[in-house]
Amino acid sequence: MYRITVIPGDGIGVEVMEAALHVLQALEIEFEFTHAEAGNECFRRCGDTLPEETLKLVRKADATLFGAVTTVPGQKSAIITLRRELDLFANLRPVKSLPGVPCLYPDLDFVIVRENTEDLYVGDEEYTPEGAVAKRIITRTASRRISQFAFQYAQKEGMQKVTAVHKANVLKKTDGIFRDEFYKVASEYPQMEANDYYVDATAMYLITQPQEFQTIVTTNLFGDILSDEAAGLIGGLGLAPSANIGEKNALFEPVHGSAPQIAGKNIANPTAMILTTTLMLKHLNKKQEAQKIEKALQKTLMRGIMTPDLGGTASTMEMAEAIKEEIVKGE
Ligand code: ATP
Ligand code: MG
């Protein structure tokens, strides 16, 4: 029995969560789902984007599923607060092509591991007489921890190579430390290949030779930018899942946001959220069940059952229902 805290959030977060839970029902696993609130709708109701009760439920759970929230400027960001409060230091973003989906590269399978706690995202900015300055924090501890996570993950997934991405030629001190710690960790994994690229070169290689990559490990801001670029390679935001992992807790969310423009129409692509549940299942050591969902999703897409963003005509729940049926049918 797994205790899962479910935070649908706002906009299409609510719709893709309903779809993903529908698919999970087809598995023979016992879940206890506890719903919790966060985001802008929650703020309107109770004056807080992340109530204490929600934080408590996330801490207690074996894993948390998070849809998406709308963050209004000036409000506390629920997802950034969760990442910080729970020290979810690793942001895992697999990039895997799906059959039947129009995209630039039909044969990609790599992962971006993004450091989630520091870099420019500590949000330490201030105005100065000349303009403004932002502080970029890079610590040895966090750099080591994220590199260790990347090598462990790569090994577990049967990959042979880990690539560090940085800009140490210009950011000699901060990214110098990141690269340094990466190679120290690499020396503990002599059976794995380790290399490093500058972030600008990586942005190009992602377009010209993305098949080269297996595991990329990088700092927070570069990881944010490169993972959206990578999502573009495989067909867009509607397809990209992610995991936020810490020592004690783990939270799983699609890369996309709440997309208010398409919310409420039952046309959001549930694929990213459904793949997000497979990351959760793998984290809970339910690899076979994760593969069942992946296979059923692939079959559904090959049958041309997909949402309008991929050129199809299926609704969010029609797609979820089709995937559920494929799981029930089995091989
Ligand atoms: P937020 O402020 O919450 O990030 P947003 O409007 O920036 O909301 P995103 O979810 O980041 O929305 O996505 C940007 C655009 O990409 C959306 O407006 C939508 O057109 C498209 N998109 C994102 N996710 C999906 C999805 N699951 N299905 C279909 N289209 C999507
Ligand atoms: Mg957005």
Q: Which atom of ligand 1 is nearest to the CA of 270?
A: 27
CATH topology of domain 104-234: Isopropylmalate Dehydrogenase (3.40.718)
In contact, 263 and 126? CB cutoff 8 Å: no
262, 276, 317: residue to mutate for ligand 1 pocket, most atoms within 8 A of CB: 262
Q: What is the DSSP string of 282-318?
A: HHTT-HHHHHHHHHHHHHHHHTT---GGGT----HHH
Separation of alpha carbons 98 and 235, rounded Å: 9
pLDDT score of 74: 87
Q: Is the Cβ atom of 261 under 6 angstroms away from ligand 1?
A: yes
pLDDT score of 272: 97
CATH 3.20.20.450 fits 1-94+236-330, yes or no: no
Separation of alpha carbons 278 and 295, rounded Å: 11
Indicate the length of the chain as a whole number: 331
Separation of alpha carbons 74 and 323, rounded Å: 39
Q: Which atom of ligand 1 is nearest to the CA of 309?
A: 29
User: Which phi and psi (to 5°) does residue 218 adopt?
Assistant: -155, 170
Q: Is the Cβ atom of 260 under 6 angstroms away from ligand 1?
A: yes
Q: Which atom of ligand 1 is nearest to the CA of 11?
A: 3
Instruction: Tell me how far the alpha carbon of residue 256 lies from the centroid of ligand 1, in angstroms.
Output: 6
Q: Catalytic: 200?
A: yes
pLDDT score of 160: 97
pLDDT score of 170: 96
Q: What is the DSSP string of 235-255?
A: T-GGG-EEEEE-SS-EEEEES
Answer yes or no: same fold for 1-94+236-330 and 104-234: yes
Cα–Cα nearest to 278, from 294, 301, 267: 294
ipTM higher than threshold 0.90: yes
Among 10, 119, 121, 292, the active-site one is 121
Cα–Cα nearest to 134, from 200, 202, 217, 221: 221
Among 109, 180, 228, 309, the active-site one is 228
Q: What does the domain layout of the chain look like in residue ranges?
A: 1-94+236-330, 104-234
Write b or e for each residue in 46-57: b if 16 or more Cβ atoms lie within 10 A of its Cβ, otherwise e. Answer: eebbbbeebbeb
Q: Is the Cβ atom of 315 under 6 angstroms away from ligand 1?
A: no
Q: What are 279-294's pLDDT values in tens digits?
A: 999 999 999 999 999 9
Q: What are 225-264's pLDDT values in tens digits?
A: 999 999 999 998 999 999 999 999 999 999 999 999 999 9
Q: Is the Cβ atom of 228 under 6 angstroms away from ligand 1?
A: no
Q: What are 190-233's pLDDT values in tens digits?
A: 999 999 999 999 999 999 999 999 999 999 999 999 999 999 99
Q: Scanning the structure block, which residue is given the tokens 């076979």?
A: 288
Separation of alpha carbons 291 and 305, rounded Å: 19
